[in-house]
Amino acid sequence: MIRLDGRARKLGDNINTDYIIASTRKRDTIDEQLLKQWLLETLDPSFAASVREGDIIVAGHNFGCGSAMEVAATVILAAGIKAVIAQSFSRTFYRNAINNGLIPVQCDTSRFDEGDALSVVLDGAALSVENHAKALTLTCPPLTGIVLDILDHGGLVPYMKENRALTPRGT
3-state secondary structure of 10: strand
Nearest CB to other proteins, comparing residues 100 and 109:
100
The Cα–Cα gap between 105 and 75 comes to: 18
| Distance between first and last Cα of the chain | 26
Q: How far is the CB of 91 from other proteins (least distance, A)?
A: 5
The Cα–Cα gap between 84 and 161 comes to: 26
Q: How far is the CB of 10 from other proteins (least distance, A)?
A: 19
What is the sign, positive or negative, of the torsion defined by CA atoms of 80, 70, 61, 136? negative
Nearest CB to other proteins, comparing residues 135 and 170:
170
Chain residues in the site for other proteins (CB under 8 A) = 14, 16, 18-19, 22-24, 26-30, 42, 61-62, 65-71, 73, 88, 90-92, 95-96, 99-100, 145-146, 155-157, 160-161, 164-168, 170-171
